[in-house]
Structure 1
Amino acid sequence: MTMTTDEAYAYTTGLRLRPRSANPDGWRVDWADGPWPVKVHSGARRLPLRPGGPPPLAVLHRLLYGAFAVSRVRTDPSGGIAATPSDPLPHHGPEVQLRRPIPSGGAMYPTEVYAALPGSGQVCHYDPYRHELVDLAGPADGDAAARLCAALRVPTDPAPAAVLVLTSRFWKNFFKYGDFAARLGPVDAGVALGAAARLADALCGHARVRTDFDDGAVHACLGLDGEEENAWAALVLGPYGADGPGAQAWGSAGSPAGPVVLERSRRTRRSERFDAFQRAARTDPGTPAAPEAPPAPEHAVPDGLVPLPDPRPLDLLGPRTAARRFSRGRLFTGQPADGEALAGVVREAAEALRRLAGAAGDADGLAGWAARTRLYCAVHRVRGVPPGWYRYLPEPGALESVGEGAGPGSGRLVHEAMFAASFNAELAAFTVHPVTPADWRPAGGPRAYRAQQLAVGAAVEAVSLAAAAEALSGHAVLGFDVTRIDTAYGLAGRADTDGGTQAQICVGAVRPDPNWEIAVMPR
């Protein structure tokens, strides 16, 4: 099955507007045959990541542990709940869950990370469970890192300290969500990319993002089947001017034939439409220049702006923020937030999108979508800000009343727009909605949709992290009635051209979590 650009647009529009109808009638999740929580390699040389190694490895230790590692173990006697858009009925899942530092839809964590180490010529897969690098090629394969850098179109003069490739393993999401995984997957990858780029900036002082590469060439370097797992973004670190690990740094000897991927599921499924869309995105011949970001509208009445107070300085990468991000409950208390908290969350999200646009640099790809992503906000309980529907304006640091404007009831509408009432959204302090032009076709083919959703994921990550830094919690949702929310913001009827809501992050104080969660460290 092949898919044209217009057919791909119809497919992705259905995922946004009608997520509960994404799968055919009778779709059921086979909970007993799900994938393992991590990708498992057998028969490979491994390099444990520890503090105090050579500069590239020391940075990779901190970056990969801070963004991707299995760093917490959580108990939930109830086994959690189902979160599929089409089946909101409770489901008894595992009582012990492996958690990572970043949000992920349904805690599925479909994003895999691969590392090219130019100093040693190695290409590795990151094992988040054991916090190790898994060598994908032996010494006989030569400079595998150079071949991967060439496939990614990464300059090697000077050589980067390392290059991280982020991929999406389709079965990790499709197992639970079916066709909705076509939307959830790139948003998850955008969350991971946003977290990794922030850490890379802090650790390296310089990081570049690449999304304009030949997928097939990258897959050949990583030994991937593009029908099962697809590379979506690369993060270039450095340069440091330091060599990577030598052969003596590697641990147990691997198989001469290379590692083998093991799969828990007896049967993997996918739909023709899902596979056709992914193929269309891989073979996208290129994208024309994306339209420039629409200018801010003229304000005839300056009093229509609600100025926000100066935000507090936020410690986004400190241990307190990490602890709050992990150990928060799911139910909001209804406690109001102050204006500084709202200002800090939306400012950091806007700043994260600005940094991503600069790091990507491709005006017709991810950078263009990051620059065109706007933040809208439904205020429920914020001291000093009237409840209502607003658009955030970064330059004046103010809210513009839009759509239904100021007035009570925004919290109730946000809650009613959710398809699965997995938490009490109406008691959040405020809700942030990333908004982009919903029609991605003027920016190119299906690959433009992928870039759009990566930018949305980066916004979700920034809102969630800033909320934790403000001692609040952020709950993100993709499956909701976007038509109702677009109508409240005054976007209905023009969402394709001017913008449509892409995600929903409710922010507020939460009740203590009755379950326990502990941190784990690599041995």
Structure 2
Amino acid sequence: MRLDEFLYNLQFDTEKVRPPDWEVDWEDAPLPYKLYRDLPVLPLSLEVPLTLEGEPPPSEPDIRSFGHFLWYVFGLSQFSQFEQEKDIVQSFRRFAPSGGALYPNELYVYLKLENVPSGVYHYDAAHHRLILLREGNFDSYLAEALGNRCKISECFGTVFVSTMFWKNFYKYNNFSYRLQGLDAGVLMGQLLETAKRFGFSTGVFFQFLDKAINHLLGLVDLEESTYAVIPLSVNPVICGDSVGEVSVNELCRELPAIQCHHYMRSKRLKPYPLLIEMNEASMMETTKMIGSITTKDRKHSDGEMVKLVPVKPLLYDLAAISRKRFSPEMDFIFGKVSNAQLASLLKEATSSFEYQNDLDEQDHSEPRVSIYGCLYNIEGIQNGAYMYDEESHILRQLNAGDYRNKLQYGMTLDNVNLQIIPLCLHVAGDRNHYRSQLGYRGYRIQQMEAGMLVQRLLLTSSALGMGGHPLLGFDVNVCDEIYRNDEITSLIQLPIGHYQSRAWLKGSLQS
């Protein structure tokens, strides 16, 4: 299968990316976290604060506060147990959701803190600790891998978000490629929101010398690869200017290779050549390939414009809201949504989505991912399909009518009853995934940005007393037809509404 055809099918014809006879080997499932063996361990404080409000962040971070930061980003936060088809299902959950709770992503950090050996670590989520992979100062190496667009020497740390291909390929086959980018983005959305509470400035780098970063972390390209690099500082992080020309080969020669043994439980790994081929085709071999994205002005509808009520920024405790966040699935119930609630949801999610990154042009005006939605029974708003214009804080009507039945028929699984959902939102983006500007790398970047916006929507809906359930099991063509836009496509579906508590046993893993 050609890569262009693969990406098309991932988006518009998903049945073609999974073999019809694919059987999941549940008994050989990998662990949802990576475990390193026989390496130095740096324990992190288990006395994680119950709230992230009220206490001013430290002027200089220490290992204690940084450990708390990591736990709120990607630590194991909850153990749950519930009955499904007469079987008892048990799982460890984190504050960021993941498709099938498989968590294909891993976190690595390059740290320079007092009383801690400087070097590269893996965050061991299972034991809430750091595993030292490579000791030393790597400021110059990392800066060059980023095209010298960030003053790494002024950052106390850098986070690397990677993807382990097998961790959800074993269940979803090639469709996992779409999930991996979205999952990485949801994790990054949680990271950026958490960083604000700890007083950390961030910058997101989507473009870097992949093999050089993987070499630094000791990753095997055929198993795992870095998707994003996020420097952390107490001062503003800059993501631009100098690029120069540095090649992967010359940079990798500056550091010896490391081989770190890890355990993930699976014994019978099946090949995933398309994922490897996509990853290879997306890699950057030289910093000369780094660029920016010029976004087109969106075509606005001539339909009715609905002005949303002015709203103030929501004030909430991220710790409490993260614990409360819930994906209702079949637990949605009827409930009215007011104009003010809808306005707060859209305004808060899009305003908090603004972040420093290495894609934006200085004079950019249009976001790369946007919120569309089919609304039903919203106070003061006609039923119909809309696009949210965040700059003007208005809804632009694209089609009038009730689209619940059409959306329900477009779902591949009947795991959500859209008849009782007031908000069925879609995060949408460029139909061609910025191929002309970023090549095949554009697809995974777009998925990550969609995931980041989804996490903002989930956190905000939780703060408003509602729940959201991200879905990929839907017919994209049906949604694109509803919104009548041949340049934009729906990347993920997000029903949002009121819900009832589920009958399950769950317990916090927080001290």
Please give the TM-score of this superposition, normalised by the length of structure 2: 0.85
Distance 1:327 1:211, change over 3 A: closer
Distance 1:157 1:163, change over 3 A: closer
Do 2:292 and 2:358's aligned partners in 1 also have CA atoms closer than 8 Å?
A: no
Which shows bigger deviation, 500-509 or 313-322? 313-322
Query: 2:478 is aligned with what amino acid?
Result: R
Matched, 1:173 2:168: yes
Do 1:321 and 1:471's aligned partners in 2 also have CA atoms closer than 8 Å?
A: no
Do 2:214 and 2:226's aligned partners in 1 also have CA atoms closer than 8 Å?
A: yes
- Offset from partner CA, 1:80-99 (integer Å, 9 cap, x none): xxxxxxxxxx7x77622100
Partner of 1:373: 369
Q: Tell me, what secondary structure is at the counterpart of 1:124?
A: strand
Distance in 2 (alpha carbons) for counterparts of 1:387 and 1:224: 50
- Offset from partner CA, 1:433-489 (integer Å, 9 cap, x none): 111111122223111111111111111111111111111000001221011111111
Distance in 1 (alpha carbons) for counterparts of 2:377 and 2:96: 26
- Offset from partner CA, 1:104-129 (integer Å, 9 cap, x none): 11111111000101343211000112
State the Cα distance separating 1:77 from its structure 2 match: 2.4
State the Cα distance separating 1:14 from its structure 2 match: 0.2
Distance in 1 (alpha carbons) for counterparts of 2:261 and 2:332: 45
Matched, 1:128 2:128: no
Matched, 1:26 2:21: yes
Do 1:430 and 1:508's aligned partners in 2 also have CA atoms closer than 8 Å?
A: yes
Q: Tell me, what secondary structure is at the counterpart of 2:63?
A: helix
Q: Tell me, what secondary structure is at the counterpart of 2:461?
A: helix
State the Cα distance separating 1:327 from its structure 2 match: 8.2
Distance 1:401 1:330, change over 3 A: same
Do 1:71 and 1:521's aligned partners in 2 also have CA atoms closer than 8 Å?
A: yes
Query: 1:508 is aligned with what amino acid?
Result: G
Matched, 1:468 2:462: yes
Distance in 1 (alpha carbons) for counterparts of 2:233 and 2:500: 42
State the Cα distance separating 1:221 from its structure 2 match: 0.9
Do 1:178 and 1:270's aligned partners in 2 also have CA atoms closer than 8 Å?
A: no
Q: Which runs of 5+ in 1 are unaligned?
A: 79-89, 242-256
- Offset from partner CA, 1:382-429 (integer Å, 9 cap, x none): 222121100111122111110xx2222x22222221111112122112
RMSD over equivalenced CA pairs, Å: 2.7
Q: Map 1:265-304 to 2 at 5 A.
A: 265-283=266-284, 286=289, 289-295=292-298, 297=300, 299=302, 304=304
Do 2:208 and 2:290's aligned partners in 1 also have CA atoms closer than 8 Å?
A: no
**Counterpart pick for 1:448 among 442, 450, 457:** 442
Partner of 2:78: 72
Do 2:208 and 2:284's aligned partners in 1 also have CA atoms closer than 8 Å?
A: no
Q: Tell me, what secondary structure is at the counterpart of 1:501?
A: strand
State the Cα distance separating 1:158 from its structure 2 match: 4.3
Query: 1:446 is aligned with what amino acid?
Result: Y
Do 1:44 and 1:258's aligned partners in 2 also have CA atoms closer than 8 Å?
A: no
- Offset from partner CA, 1:252-302 (integer Å, 9 cap, x none): xxxxx9752013011112332222111111247636653323145374x7x
Matched, 1:419 2:416: no
Do 1:56 and 1:240's aligned partners in 2 also have CA atoms closer than 8 Å?
A: no
Partner of 1:246: none
- Percent of pairs identical after alignment? 25
Q: Tell me, what secondary structure is at the counterpart of 2:107?
A: strand
Matched, 1:363 2:357: no
Q: Tell me, what secondary structure is at the counterpart of 1:280?
A: helix
Query: 2:122 is aligned with what amino acid?
Result: H
State the Cα distance separating 1:135 from its structure 2 match: 0.9
Matched, 1:307 2:307: yes
Matched, 1:188 2:183: yes
Q: Tell me, what secondary structure is at the counterpart of 1:334?
A: coil
Partner of 1:248: none
Distance in 2 (alpha carbons) for counterparts of 1:332 and 1:234: 37
Distance in 2 (alpha carbons) for counterparts of 1:19 and 1:411: 22
Q: Tell me, what secondary structure is at the counterpart of 1:143?
A: coil
Q: Map 1:36-75 to 2 at 5 A.
A: 36-50=31-45, 55-75=61-81
Q: Tell me, what secondary structure is at the counterpart of 1:461?
A: helix
Residue-pair matches, total: 472
Distance 1:292 1:332, change over 3 A: same
Distance 1:224 1:157, change over 3 A: closer
Distance in 2 (alpha carbons) for counterparts of 1:204 and 1:195: 14
Query: 2:283 is aligned with what amino acid?
Result: R
Q: Which runs of 5+ in 2 are unaligned?
A: 49-57, 237-257
Query: 2:415 is aligned with what amino acid?
Result: S
Query: 1:265 is aligned with what amino acid?
Result: S
Q: Map 1:102-501 to 2 at 5 A.
A: 102-119=96-113, 120-137=117-134, 141-144=135-138, 147-153=141-147, 155-156=150-151, 158-239=153-234, 259-283=260-284, 286=289, 289-295=292-298, 297=300, 299=302, 304-311=304-311, 313-326=313-326, 330-353=330-353, 355-356=354-355, 359-363=356-360, 371-402=367-398, 405-408=399-402, 410-440=403-433, 441-491=435-485, 494=486, 498-501=487-490
Do 1:370 and 1:455's aligned partners in 2 also have CA atoms closer than 8 Å?
A: no
Query: 2:423 is aligned with what amino acid?
Result: F
Q: Tell me, what secondary structure is at the counterpart of 1:224?
A: coil
Query: 2:307 is aligned with what amino acid?
Result: P
- Offset from partner CA, 1:214-259 (integer Å, 9 cap, x none): 1111111111001111101011111479xxxxxxxxxxxxxxx975
Distance 1:401 1:327, change over 3 A: closer
Distance 1:147 1:508, change over 3 A: same
Distance in 2 (alpha carbons) for counterparts of 1:452 and 1:37: 24
Do 1:35 and 1:263's aligned partners in 2 also have CA atoms closer than 8 Å?
A: yes
